[in-house]
Amino acid sequence: MNVRVTSLLTFEDCPRRFFAENILGLKVPSAAADIGTAIHTVAERWYKEGKNFPGFKKAAEDEIKKFPDTLNIENVIEIAGLAKKFISVYGEGGFDYQVIPEIRLQIPVGRHTVSGQMDALFMPLFPGMPAKIVDLKTGRNRAVTKQLAIYAFLVVKSFGGIHDVLTRYEWVRLNEKDEYHYSEKHLIEIELWINQQVKQIDKALRKGEEGFTCNPGHVCAYCGYAQQCPATSGDYNPPVEDSIEDLAELPTSPELLTSEMAEKYASRLLALQGKVKQIENVLKIWTEKHGPLVIGDQAMGKFEKASQRQFDVKKVIERCQERGLNPLEYITLSSTAAKKLERKIDLEGCYTEKPSPPTWSIKKVETVGLESTVNTVKETVEILAEDEKAVPEQPTVSSLVKDFGVFLKGVEAPQEALENVRVAYRCSESGKYDETFWDALMSAVAWQGLQNEKAQEIAYMIQQIENVAQAG
């Protein structure tokens, strides 16, 4: 079965509603949903049809004909207006992103697939940059869901070389936006959640309708299945679920635990972890807006972190050598640094693989037994000491601006552009990345006569300057 991202979220809210919509194929007429679909289609047509696009009003008129039960001529202005707002997003790619509107991605999960359709995906044209997803919302309920995290996961899984995804909900009626950044590390959690949901759907499918339990609550108010739903008619006897308190009845000795009970507790543990994560996410957003929460002697919120010492490995090696100590006995290489180094040089033969003692953890099924720890400590320190080029100096804003100036000179930029780079360089040397700095830098770029590939190189250099300036 293919499960759409929105259906995964429906299943989490109420499995019976998922059953009604996805298995029975029940579709309840909804003007709000049809307006949303019409807006998306008009915006997509504008992008794809180019010169043949008949205009927003005409395209909106075409769309309302597809929904005669819910939409009429009075909806045309609204659909055309919001579609115009949508298309402004497509222009955000600039020249360092390729915009792909209405892209559908699908990945296998167990014996099923999960798919999602994104309103706009921005794929970076330069390595190391994050992908971007924008989801345009026409509703007014700014609810927090996992939708963007799942989309980010689909992008990382579907395209090689993407490790970070910047996502955004654009609330077109409210003129508001909510932004979230997902790295591969965050997406491990969402992958676990997806696997768990699909597993539960699979289990329910094997049982038939009874497998899809009703979960009456505030969601019933928006459920088109409410009139037929046994939970709202009083005929429904929910299956007796083990409550959290049952955990207190865990046998005191593991020998008394049957495999059936162990499985039950394991699935309860995963469900509780999912709930904990959900609560954490909501509290993160709440505390961002309202400040820290203090419960007893505990506080939660965003706090300054103690500064961390970043060692200069070369200096540490020199200092050890001055004192007659063997640096190889003290310096270790983290697996992250080893991975970074491996992108530059081949470390084959520089490490031995030591089996790690088994520790209790929750892992993806397919990764169990496949992980290894790269132990590259001594050998890599030797390489670092021998080959200074292996650890490049961290670029500074002024070194990058200087490189940029040299580049512009090489492509025979006009004097005016070079003068602007000099202004930016002087600002960067004094650590001032203010308006004068950015104006000068951008003016240096704004001259005619660049070939396309040079423009891309310039975009990449400006991006690097921006990154380092922001990090500083």
Binding site for ligand SF4 (CB under 6 A): 14, 16-17, 214-216, 219-220, 223, 225-226, 229, 231-232
- SS3 label, residue 293: strand
Determine the Cα–Cα distance for residues 18 and 198; give it in Å rounded to an integer.
12
Amino acid at 126: F
Rounded Cα distance between 458 and 411, Å, is 11
Q: Which letter does DSSP use for residue 19 in this model?
A: I
Neighbouring residues of 180: CB distance < 8 A, sequence distance ≥ 6: 148, 149, 166, 167, 168
Measured from the CB atom, is 12 or 44 closer to ligand SF4? 12
Which residue's CB is nearer to ligand SF4, number 14 or number 461? 14
In the complex with ligand SF4, which residue's Cβ is closer, 226 or 418? 226
Nearest partner of 90 among 178, 170, 27, 26, judged by Cα: 170
Are 350 and 379 contacting, i.e. CB atoms less than 8 angstroms apart? yes
- Nearer CB in complex with ligand SF4: 51/218: 218
Least Å distance, CB 22 to ligand SF4, is 12
CB of 294 to ligand SF4, least distance (A): 36
Q: How far is the CB of 144 from ligand SF4 (least distance, A)?
A: 19
Alpha helices in 23-97 (DSSP H): 31-49, 56-64, 76-90
Cβ of 134: how many Cβ atoms within 10 Å? Answer: 23
Residues 6+ apart with CB under 8 A from 28: 224, 225
Q: What backbone torsions phi and psi does residue 109 show, to the nearest 5 degrees?
A: -135, 110
Output the smallest distance, CB 228 to ligand SF4, in A.
8
Closer residue to ligand SF4 in complex, CB, 231/440: 231
Nearer to ligand SF4, 213 or 464 (CB): 213
Q: How far is the CB of 204 from ligand SF4 (least distance, A)?
A: 13
Q: Which is nearer to ligand SF4, 223 or 461 (CB)?
A: 223
CB of 131 to ligand SF4, least distance (A): 34
**In terms of CB distance, is 126 or 236 closer to ligand SF4?**
236
Q: Tell me the closest approach of the beta carbon of residue 149 to ligand SF4, in angstroms.
A: 23
Instruction: Say how far apart CA 459 and CA 407 lie, in whole Å.
Output: 12
Crossing angle of helices 147-158/184-207, nearest 10°? Answer: 100
- If the CB atoms of residues 166 and 220 are measured against ligand SF4, the closer one turns out to be 220
Other Cβ atoms within 10 Å of 177 Cβ, number: 13
DSSP line for 324-371:
T--GGGT----HHHHHHHHTTS--TTS-EEPPPPP------GGGTTT-
